[in-house]
């Protein structure tokens, strides 16, 4: 049997070394959303979903290695593989090149496959010694490479949506699985690497509501989880599939909780009530800008939309872009204020980033606007821009981005406060006599009961009087829903204090970098097929001044 190793790039992450930069943090929220919120920042890591999907859909014995050290990667290479697949994005180009060098050194007979968004770096074939490069949709491409039937149905992997999740230093159970209905997006926003990576179209893995429902039932059975993080650029856009998916959920009495990505246009078309029945509890919304309006956002009152979603118990992450072409000193502040005024649970600020394969990259390259001397590891949207802007110097953009996050945090309070408030709104929402919505409302009540243990310490550690007042009001709101705290509930809350205090100390001392654990998953061998198999000793990496492992 063919034997394959698929690997993410190696750690440690978020440190300045020969392979990366400290600003390139391997935590989506802590890096791009709650990054200036100190101890209130949400902390978790995501497995390499795409690699798990590939491994599930080939017949070869396949091992997926998430977040190895170089030493662990070398040790794995020595076990003997026919192919090694390395998945990377452009900022991790140097790490991917190093891994290819290690393959040639320690396993010279092994063929190297490169995949991921980084494969569109110009002249990649000349920069990394590899045997194959997969660009775009990978399942059918890999099947063809291995001589398998590319048209056979897609099988969905059973993989958790996150690793080492915590709030304020308190470990949280991972309750959600990932669900990948398809890849790509036809909206083709000029800056969007995902849309252009998949040729400006949507490629469905599960084309019908029936097929998607069957996949979800299978994952639920294998992982015992009833929450799904749906990795789909615009899940609601295929309305017929969504409505059939909901119909089957209702017919089979499924009360799944969903986290989705959606554009405003599709929400307006299907309506918030449908989202409630569907079980949506988190929604990632591309707002982008107040003035530069994309087709997907035409005529949308985002403030009203965010309020309507939160009143339905749906947490909203609103995403905005800084350093757009029209931005000057006045208009960039206008957009920062606009994003802040939406009062979303989470706000993401990203710098405009011309990534290889996008229309924006081609345009800027042709016009000579790219700063070619900026290395790939510094092209990630969370430090400094790598193009010539008419109104901003590259070296000042880091400070402007940082101040945007700080302004939103101090104006609206920590995202955790808002998340808890949205949950409370869901617990109070009238179910209208619907048994299905009554079950949803009770789920919010139960979650309030769980979150309540942390609220006391939100007030205790809040850095400003305004935030302390927010925490007091939040506690009062929860008391109206749940009644007075019992002695047992208070004891549980006090038992959490050492964990919360330790997180506060780590943050204050700057020891706040968590490295993801190394995990290896095995596919294709009958006795261990589809099992997520943790490494025998999850590796912790030492970085200057701290133990950089998952929160303990």
Report the percentage of the chain scoring pLDDT > 90. Answer: 91
Determine the pLDDT at residue 539. Answer: 32
At residue 536 the predicted structure's pLDDT band, cuts being 50, 70 and 90, is very low
- Residue 133 to residues 60, 85, 160, 235, 343, Cα–Cα distance (Å): 19, 9, 27, 28, 43
Task: Report the mean per-residue pLDDT for the chain.
Answer: 93
CA distance 475 to 420: 10
**255-281 pLDDT, tens per residue?**
999 999 999 999 999 999 999 999 999
Please give the average per-residue pLDDT across 72-76, as a whole number.
Answer: 97
Determine the pLDDT at residue 525. Answer: 57
CATH class for the region spanning 3-155+516-540? alpha beta
User: What one-character DSSP code corresponds to residue 160?
Assistant: B
Tokens of 331: 């208009």
- Residue 31 to residues 73, 92, 238, 275, 288, Cα–Cα distance (Å): 25, 15, 31, 28, 18
Determine the pLDDT at residue 295. Answer: 83
Pairing between strand 163-167 and 182-184? Answer: unpaired
Question: Residue 377 pLDDT > 50, yes or no?
Answer: yes
Q: Is the domain 175-412 a CATH 1.10.3720.10 member?
A: no
**121-157 pLDDT, tens per residue?**
999 999 999 999 999 999 999 999 999 999 999 999 9
Please give the average per-residue pLDDT across 157-168, as a whole number.
Answer: 95
Domain boundaries, the chain: 3-155+516-540, 175-412, 423-509
HSE of 202, CA atoms in CB hemisphere, 13 A? 17
Determine the pLDDT at residue 533. Answer: 40
Least Cα distance to 351 among 302, 295, 396 occurs for 396
Q: What is the pTM of this model?
A: 0.93
CB 352 within 8 A of CB 323: yes
Determine the pLDDT at residue 481. Answer: 97
DSSP letter string, 465-530: HHHHHHHHHHHHHHHHHH-SPPHHHHHHHHHTHHHHHHHHHHHHHT---PPPPPEEEEES-TTTTT
User: What one-character DSSP code corresponds to residue 232?
Assistant: -
State the sign of the Cα–Cα–Cα–Cα dihedral 317, 318, 319, 322. Answer: negative
At residue 534 the predicted structure's pLDDT band, cuts being 50, 70 and 90, is very low
**237-253 pLDDT, tens per residue?**
999 999 999 999 999 99
Question: Residue 38 pLDDT > 50, yes or no?
Answer: yes
Q: Residue 38: left if φ>0, alpha if ψ -120 to 50, beta else—which one?
A: left
Please give the average per-residue pLDDT across 188-195, as a whole number.
Answer: 92
**404-463 pLDDT, tens per residue?**
999 999 999 999 999 999 999 999 999 999 999 999 999 999 999 999 999 999 999 999
Q: Could you give the residue ranges of the DSSP H alpha helices within 260-358?
A: 264-270, 272-278, 302-311, 329-341
**304-341 pLDDT, tens per residue?**
999 999 999 999 999 999 999 999 999 999 999 999 99
CA distance 78 to 134: 24
Determine the pLDDT at residue 526. Answer: 46
CA distance 465 to 459: 9
Residue with tokens 């101090």: 410
Contacts of 124 (CB under 8 A, 6+ apart): 114, 118, 133
Please give the average per-residue pLDDT across 281-299, as a whole number.
Answer: 91
Least Cα distance to 356 among 18, 171, 121 occurs for 121
Report the percentage of the chain scoring pLDDT > 70. Answer: 95
Question: Residue 543 pLDDT > 90, yes or no?
Answer: no
User: How many beta carbons lie within 10 A of that of residue 428, not counting itself?
Assistant: 15
CB 386 within 8 A of CB 379: yes
Question: Residue 512 pLDDT > 90, yes or no?
Answer: no
Question: Residue 551 pLDDT > 70, yes or no?
Answer: no
- Residue 482 to residues 441, 478, 487, Cα–Cα distance (Å): 13, 6, 14
Please give the average per-residue pLDDT across 472-481, as a whole number.
Answer: 97
CA distance 84 to 81: 7
Question: Residue 383 pLDDT > 80, yes or no?
Answer: yes
């Amino acid at each position: 049997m063919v034997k394959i190793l698929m690997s993410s790039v190696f750690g440690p992450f978020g440190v300045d070394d020969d392979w990366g930069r400290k600003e390139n943090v391997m935590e989506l929220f802590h890096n791009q959303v709650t990054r200036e919120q100190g101890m209130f920042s949400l902390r978790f890591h995501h497995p390499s979903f795409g690699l798990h999907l590939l491994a599930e859909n080939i017949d070869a014995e396949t091992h997926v290695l998430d977040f190895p050290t170089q030493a662990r990667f070398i040790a794995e290479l020595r076990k003997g593989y026919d192919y090694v697949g390395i998945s990377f994005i452009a900022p991790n180009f140097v790490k991917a090149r190093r891994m290819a060098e290690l393959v040639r050194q320690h396993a010279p007979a092994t063929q190297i496959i490169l995949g991921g968004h980084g494969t569109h770096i110009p002249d990649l074939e000349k920069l990394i010694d590899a045997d194959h490069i997969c660009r775009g949709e990978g399942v059918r491409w890999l099947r063809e490479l291995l001589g398998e039937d590319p048209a056979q149905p897609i099988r969905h992997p059973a993989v958790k949506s996150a690793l080492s999740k915590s709030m304020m230093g308190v470990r949280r159970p991972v309750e959600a699985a990932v669900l990948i209905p398809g890849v790509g997006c036809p909206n083709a926003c000029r800056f969007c690497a995902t849309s252009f990576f998949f040729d400006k179209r949507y490629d469905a893995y599960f084309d019908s509501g029936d097929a998607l429902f069957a996949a979800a039932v299978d994952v639920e059975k294998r992982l015992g989880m009833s929450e799904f993080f749906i990795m789909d650029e615009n899940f609601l856009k295929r309305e017929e599939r969504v409505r059939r998916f909901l119909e089957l959920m209702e017919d089979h009495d499924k009360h799944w909780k969903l986290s989705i990505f959606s554009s405003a246009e599709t929400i307006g078309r299907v309506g918030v009530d449908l989202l409630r029945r569907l079980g949506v509890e988190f929604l990632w919304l591309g707002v982008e800008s107040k003035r530069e309006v994309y087709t997907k956002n035409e005529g949308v009152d985002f403030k009203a939309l965010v309020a309507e979603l939160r009143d339905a118990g749906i947490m909203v992450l609103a995403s905005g872009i800084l350093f757009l072409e029209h931005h000057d000193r006045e208009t960039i502040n206008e957009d920062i204020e606009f994003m802040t005024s939406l009062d979303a649970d989470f706000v993401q600020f990203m710098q405009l980033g011309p990534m290889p394969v996008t229309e924006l990259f081609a345009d800027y390259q042709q016009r000579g606007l790219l700063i070619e001397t900026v290395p790939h590891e510094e092209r990630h949207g969370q430090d400094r821009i790598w193009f010539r802007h008419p109104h901003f110097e590259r070296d000042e953009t880091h400070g402007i981005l940082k101040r945007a996050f700080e302004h939103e945090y101090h104006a609206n309070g920590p995202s955790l406060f808002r998340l808890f408030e949205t949950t409370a709104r869901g617990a109070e929402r009238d179910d209208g006599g619907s048994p299905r919505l009554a079950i949803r409302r009770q789920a919010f009540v139960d979650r309030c009961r769980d979150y309540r243990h942390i609220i006391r310490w939100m007030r205790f550690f809040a850095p400003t009087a305004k935030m302390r007042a927010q925490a007091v009001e939040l506690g009062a709101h929860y008391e109206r829903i749940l009644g007075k705290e019992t002695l047992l509930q208070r004891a549980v809350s006090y038992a959490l204090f050492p964990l919360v205090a330790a997180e506060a100390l780590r943050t204050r001392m700057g020891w706040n970098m968590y490295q993801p654990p190394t995990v290896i998953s095995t596919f294709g061998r009958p006795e261990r097929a589809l099992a997520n198999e943790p490494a025998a000793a999850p590796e912790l990496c030492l970085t200057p001044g701290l133990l950089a492992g998952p929160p303990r």
